[in-house]
Structure 1
């Protein structure tokens, strides 16, 4: 397993994971392609000092996020 900072290419899988979660399902919605709001929010979070989206990868597949 590898842990690293998420990139925009990981965003669809992150949203899918969140939408599949019991709590996340009440507030997240996975649509392909993602809505611009998710992409814009990711870009804003990336620019924030001290803020990172961390992912866990297993064989290059996103299996978790923090």
Structure 2
């Protein structure tokens, strides 16, 4: 699997808070739908920071695992 890093993702528009982020403002992930290379993910507290771009299939597998509580607390 190949991941890509976008050094400064602040110029990209359309970020949304992940539905799996907590309700408190301290720990939020943002995702960008419709990117040509996959699914970019960034820390909402650092919008000028890097974003990781995951392969679409890898991201889908991860989200499905979250929905199925595959990660023990």
Scaled by the length of structure 2, what TM-score is found?
0.30
Scaled by the length of structure 1, what TM-score is found?
0.32
Larger helix share, 1 or 2: 1
